[in-house]
Structure 1
């Protein structure tokens, strides 16, 4: 089983908009996804971390996927987040296939910690009869070692590994083990950088053979996300450094001030851009007014670099 398309960064992880009376705002979401695609992303990953997967009911989850698939209309592949316990995650994969998604990002199992072998067993259980290609998200309690990462290649449905741990040496061991294994799927297996504000670590990950990355910035400032990616691809170190200094490093510092800002600050940024994505759902908390003002200044500083 192959990926439905090359995952050229920056990858889009759209927000899930809610109305003030706590309903899924389907029209806003459709417009948001359309804007993300028009900006030039190679894939959209909906109902994932930035899309508040854990806050969605099953009917809402299916509606989010359906709207995304209809809006994309084949222009780019739509990947669906899936997670929870093994049975719940397996049900998500079935829903994703039924709704027309072209792939799945498998989030860590709910709450329970285990060994790398146990995580591999969880993945095997979830994907065993899925018709969709699956990218495994390694983060939190879903940590693989090189041997179990290599064993993923024996699962036909698993086509890639997204890293959210940020341990470069550990990830280098995994990449090298897979690429030099001689496994018939080794060359085509995908590796993605999935750290928050992944642009900060894009150079380091690229050096170990992980060129693709997710971009939360793309959800509220796709112009800045693509400008950074173009500079990185072309070797324009001066522009990469300027965007890091003026925009990405201050953004990451602000993100780190409050737990959950990796989502709520992105929603605040989208609202600043005129996208009525509404509030976050608990336990996330809204960005403080002074932090929203600071975010507006950071976005303006990033665009000043491009001017």
Structure 2
């Protein structure tokens, strides 16, 4: 299934909140426009980085509506859906009714089941809709290679995004599906995906989403270009000087895959606001370290040969 925009760098806009944690659509408008201006190939709104799990249905609909208004057809707008089976089904239907270009289907909420049950969850969520769907492969929705192959038989399923991080399993899934459906799409959806991008590209999963695009799109795009050009010197410089220190800080606290991104966006002047609970804000000391990491990353970027 050919889907425009999904070969570029994929961006997952933050969902801004006010200080009292109300939805800030004005800030969201600015964020969405900033992603498009920075060169995002497609936007995935109200997904993991956009705090999907904290949004009420009416907020979710407002985020999609606002994104489509701001984008005005310049790039595709995908939206998250998922949770319990009934909520996922309503979310997919709402995405289609709201004019989204596609859906990122999150795994089931809280409970897990056998591989066949996971496949049934996808079928139930999609129902009789025809909107393109990318299935998010992550705990508690982890597929076997044989079960993932059955996704090919669901006409609107266009791809699989891996957030589980088992390269051996993903190699089996990619190899099994590509033998039956060469056009099926695969995505690296691990936190700070640039760190694993080379390993995933080696198994045929070159597409990835960049949370760094929310606060340092210039770094994100330079790394993305280096990956496409196999420029290991540039990738190594950005990994050592920026991404690995960022990941080390991220790993200190659960939920920092989102909290740190929002904090970094605020440091760079973006209207991001705080995170909703149970996510927590970085401490003052962590914010100081984050600022230093971002500043150093921009310095490393500035020292790279622009013609490489």
TM-score interval, normalised by the smaller of the two chains:
over 0.9
1:136-215 pair list within 5 angstroms: 136-181=135-180, 186-215=181-210
SS of 1:180 mapped into structure 2: helix
SS of 1:75 mapped into structure 2: coil
Check whether the contact 1:3–1:133 (CA below 8 A) recurs between aligned residues: no
1:301 corresponds to? 296
Displacement of 1:5 after TM fit?
1.2
Of residues 246, 264, 270 in structure 2, which corresponds to 1:275?
270
Check whether the contact 1:250–1:298 (CA below 8 A) recurs between aligned residues: yes
Distance 2:127 2:2 in 1: 17
Check whether the contact 1:4–1:102 (CA below 8 A) recurs between aligned residues: no
Displacement of 1:6 after TM fit?
4.2
Distance 1:10 1:291 in 2: 28
Distance 1:247 1:147 in 2: 38
Check whether the contact 2:105–2:136 (CA below 8 A) recurs between aligned residues: yes
SS of 2:160 mapped into structure 1: strand
- Residue segments in structure 2 that go unaligned for 5+ positions in a row: 303-308
1:220-231 pair list within 5 angstroms: 220-231=215-226
Per-residue Cα deviation, 1:74-111 (whole angstroms, up to 9, x for no partner): 11110100011111001011111122111000001011
Per-residue Cα deviation, 1:222-277 (whole angstroms, up to 9, x for no partner): 11100111111122211100000010000001000000000110000100110121
Displacement of 1:203 after TM fit?
0.4
SS of 2:209 mapped into structure 1: strand
Distance 1:94 1:23 in 2: 25
1:98 corresponds to? 97
- Residue segments in structure 1 that go unaligned for 5+ positions in a row: none
Distance 2:9 2:285 in 1: 29
Distance 1:68 1:6 in 2: 16
1:127-138 pair list within 5 angstroms: 127-138=126-137
Distance 1:198 1:73 in 2: 28
Check whether the contact 2:5–2:75 (CA below 8 A) recurs between aligned residues: no
SS of 1:94 mapped into structure 2: helix
1:56-71 pair list within 5 angstroms: 56-71=55-70
Distance 2:71 2:44 in 1: 11
SS of 1:294 mapped into structure 2: helix
Distance 1:163 1:148 in 2: 15
Of residues 235, 247, 257 in structure 1, which corresponds to 2:252?
257
Distance 1:30 1:277 in 2: 11
Distance 1:124 1:202 in 2: 30
1:77 corresponds to? 76
- The number of equivalent residue pairs is 302
Displacement of 1:128 after TM fit?
2.1
Check whether the contact 1:193–1:202 (CA below 8 A) recurs between aligned residues: yes
Q: CA RMSD in A?
A: 1.0
Q: TM-score, normalised by structure 1?
A: 0.96
Check whether the contact 2:189–2:208 (CA below 8 A) recurs between aligned residues: yes
Per-residue Cα deviation, 1:28-85 (whole angstroms, up to 9, x for no partner): 1011001001111110000001000111111111000100111111111101000111
Q: TM-score, normalised by structure 2?
A: 0.96
1:119 and 2:114 aligned: no
Displacement of 1:292 after TM fit?
1.1
Give runs of ≥4 in structure 1 deviating > 6 Å: none
